[in-house]
């Protein structure tokens, strides 16, 4: 006889996620991933001044609020055909990179690796060391990171005044310039954070780590010095292999990236693309959302963002989630750091992917690798800022127009779509990264990314299904972006 496991709320980041699995002979035979809240930001924005989107949308999420701010400002920039001076691009990229680094490393230290001290592993060789390093509010590495992450927050304070919910990003640029003194101070803070990364996280210089281009390079690096193997990333790689996380949680292997970090010449530091065995160009017209299994009413089960509606229907038959089911070119796709680095040809992550597929080890390692790449890019952008040049350019307000703002949030592809009529917002639609990864079934009955990843997985102890926790947390869900709250008749 089978057993049903329900994990709800899913703790440690933002718990409005419900994982329901049916297990038979220790194997998952059915999965339902549900977002269990509704907030309705898209409804709230209807009828408002378009600029209000810059105030409201960053409050969708306290973790990736700058990403929402960038997406909203890009949608308005696109709608109004606005232009920005070069400084605005650099300052926006610096702030955006800070947020992604902050989120990626917070995920590693405070959300994901804590599961290495699950009671299931108590008798394994690494357990004592894992507890000493990562036990919440006790572990050496845990406490060290909490202290050091403040440096990134201090850097964001210099750049945009405050975090979260800054209003610095506008269609014509940014609202705050940097002085020479602030640039020097920002570079100093960045160097202090790099010192933490090199001494504690890597056990070597950033440049030395970046010489690792293949799996075998990392294996040699682990043996090269004791500091390497005993670093936080070295510990993660060693233990992940011991726990077979290089074979667990393998997803479908199709990836999407909207592109991010636009330069003044229009090029993207992270280019856009779609990967399915090979990289292909990205076409935003191929994005559609399915709602057959979501608590929304519409005369169509497949809708395109500029035509999409947000109309709750709590009594809808078959529905089991507030998350819609976005698809690209009619494909289920994974988004996030792994997608970005595969599409942008990072040699180390590509080699790991070719050897271990889109497994837990590779997915988490991609987040760490991306953070290190962005540290170097951030330093480069800071050095390009010219305090004597403008950061904002005036633009004309159009009363009837539409715009699209696409970027990458820490967890993946983020899009904002706006339709403006008579100077007011007629329609606003948002597709967040967790919507892509944690979607329910679509109109053809195809499971979402995480649902497919969990299906068929073996569970050793049904009373302590730590394997499920590893998989879910490797995708780094943030349900506050994807789901909202609604009470019938209230």
- Per-residue pLDDT tens over the stretch 196-212: 999 999 999 999 999 99
Question: 480 pLDDT exceeds 80?
Answer: no
* pLDDT tens per residue across span 375-393: 999 999 999 999 999 999 9
pLDDT grade, residue 14 (50/70/90)?
A: low
Model pLDDT, residue 485: 38
Q: How many Å apart are CA 161 and CA 362, to the nearest integer?
A: 35
Higher-pLDDT residue of 183 and 164 is 183
Q: Say what the pLDDT of residue 308 is.
A: 86
- In this predicted structure, the answer to whether residue 483 has a pLDDT above a threshold of 70 is no
The pTM for the full model equals 0.95
Percent residues over pLDDT 70 in the chain: 97
Question: Quick check: 16 pLDDT over 90?
Answer: no
The pLDDT value given to residue 15: 63
CA distances for 107 relative to 114, 369, 473, 475, angstroms:
10, 13, 8, 10
Q: Using 50, 70 and 90 to split pLDDT, how confident is the model at 109?
A: very high
Q: Is the peptide bond before 164 cis (omega within 30 degrees of 0)?
A: yes
Q: pLDDT: is 38 or 348 the higher one? A: 348
Give the pLDDT mean for 290-318: 90
Eight-class DSSP state of 281: -
Q: Which residue has the tokens 């308005």?
A: 76
Q: Could you tell me which of 57, 61, 59 has the C-alpha nearest to residue 76? A: 57
Choice between 219 and 303, residue whose per-residue pLDDT is larger:
219
**What pLDDT sits at residue 479?**
63
Instruction: Average the pLDDT over 116-130 and give the result.
Output: 97
**Which pLDDT value is given to residue 490?**
42
Whole-angstrom Cα distance, residue 261 to residue 271? 9
Lowest mean pLDDT, pick from 268-282, 300-314, 434-448: 300-314
- Output the pLDDT for position 484: 41
Peptide bond before residue 9 is cis, with ω within 30 degrees of 0: yes
Q: What average pLDDT does the segment 29-43 reach? A: 91
Q: Which residues, other chains included, contact 180 with Cβ-Cβ below 8 Å and sequence gap of 6+?
A: 387
Average pLDDT over residues 237-251: 97
Please state, in angstroms and as integers, the Cα–Cα distance from residue 285 to each residue in 228, 254, 303, 306, 486, following that order. Answer: 46, 18, 12, 10, 30
Considering only 6-15, 81-90, 399-408, which range has the smallest mean pLDDT?
Answer: 6-15
- Is the pLDDT assigned to residue 323 strictly greater than 50? yes
Average of pLDDT values for 4-32? 88
d(CA 3, CA 10): 19
pLDDT at 405: 98
pLDDT band at 162 (very low <50, low <70, confident <90, very high): confident
Angle of helix 140-160 relative to helix 180-196, nearest 10 degrees, comes to 170
The pLDDT score that the predictor gives to residue 486 is 39
Weakest mean pLDDT among 142-146, 164-168, 184-188, 268-272: 164-168
CA distance 103 to 477: 12
The confidence score (pLDDT) of residue 213 equals: 98
Residue 291 pLDDT greater than 70, yes or no: yes
Tell me the pLDDT tens digit for each residue of 38-91.
878 899 999 999 999 999 998 887 778 899 999 999 999 999 999 999 999 999
β-pair partners for 280: 274
Mean pLDDT of the chain: 94
Burial of 278 (0-12, 13-18, 19+ CB in 10 A): exposed
Q: Is the pLDDT of residue 470 over 90?
A: yes
Q: Give me the pLDDT at residue 228, please.
A: 98
Set out the domains of the chain in order of their start, with CATH numbers. Answer: 3-482 (1.10.645.10)
Judged against a pLDDT cut of 80, whether residue 299 lies above it is answered with: no
């Amino acid at each position: 006889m089978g057993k049903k496991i329900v994990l709800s709320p899913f703790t440690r980041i933002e718990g409005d996620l419900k994982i329901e699995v049916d297990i038979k002979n220790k194997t998952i035979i059915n999965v339902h991933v549900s977002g269990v809240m509704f907030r309705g930001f898209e409804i709230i924005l209807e009828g408002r001044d378009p600029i209000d989107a810059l105030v409201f949308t960053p409050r969708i999420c306290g973790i990736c609020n700058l990403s929402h701010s960038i997406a909203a400002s890009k949608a308005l920039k696109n709608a109004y055909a606005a232009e920005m001076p070069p400084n605005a691009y650099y300052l926006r990229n610096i702030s955006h990179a800070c947020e992604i680094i902050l989120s990626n490393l917070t995920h590693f230290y405070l959300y994901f690796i804590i599961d290495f001290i699950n009671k299931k592993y108590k008798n394994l060789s690494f357990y004592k060391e894992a507890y000493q390093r990562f036990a919440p509010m006790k572990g050496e590495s845990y406490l060290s990171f909490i202290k050091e992450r403040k440096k990134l927050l201090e850097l964001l304070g210099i750049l945009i005044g405050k975090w979260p919910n800054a209003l610095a990003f506008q269609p014509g640029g940014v609202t705050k310039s940097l002085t020479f003194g602030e640039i020097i101070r920002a570079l100093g803070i960045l160097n202090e954070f790099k010192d933490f990364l090199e001494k504690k996280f890597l056990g070597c210089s950033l440049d030395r780590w970046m010489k690792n281009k293949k799996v075998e390079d990392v294996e040699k690096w682990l043996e090269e010095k004791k500091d390497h193997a005993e670093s936080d990333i070295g510990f993660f790689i060693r233990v992940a292999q011991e726990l077979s996380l290089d074979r667990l949680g393998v997803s479908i292997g199709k990836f999407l990236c909207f592109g991010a970090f636009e330069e003044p010449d229009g090029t993207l530091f992270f280019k856009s693309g779609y990967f399915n065995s090979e990289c292909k160009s990205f076409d935003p017209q191929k994005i559609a959302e399915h709602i057959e299994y979501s608590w929304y009413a519409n005369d169509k089960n497949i809708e395109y963002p500029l035509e999409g509606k947000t109309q709750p229907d709590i009594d809808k038959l078959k529905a089991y989630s507030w998350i819609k089911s976005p698809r690209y070119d009619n494909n289920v796709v994974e988004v996030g750091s792994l997608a970005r680095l595969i599409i942008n040809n990072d040699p180390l992550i590509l080699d790991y992917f070719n050897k271990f597929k889109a497994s837990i080890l590779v997915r988490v390692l991609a987040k760490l690798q991306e953070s290190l790449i962005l540290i170097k890019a951030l330093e480069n952008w800071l050095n390009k800022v010219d305090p004597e040049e403008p950061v904002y350019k005036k633009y004309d307000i159009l009363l009837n127009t539409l715009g699209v703002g696409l970027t990458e949030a820490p967890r993946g592809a983020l899009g904002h779509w706006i339709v403006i009529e008579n100077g007011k917002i007629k329609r606003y639609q948002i597709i967040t990264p967790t919507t892509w990864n944690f979607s329910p079934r679509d109109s053809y009955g195809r499971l979402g990314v995480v649902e497919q990843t969990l299906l068929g997985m073996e569970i050793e102890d049904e009373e302590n299904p730590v394997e499920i926790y590893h998989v879910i947390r490797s995708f780094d869900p943030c349900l506050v972006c994807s789901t909202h709250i609604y009470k019938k008749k209230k």
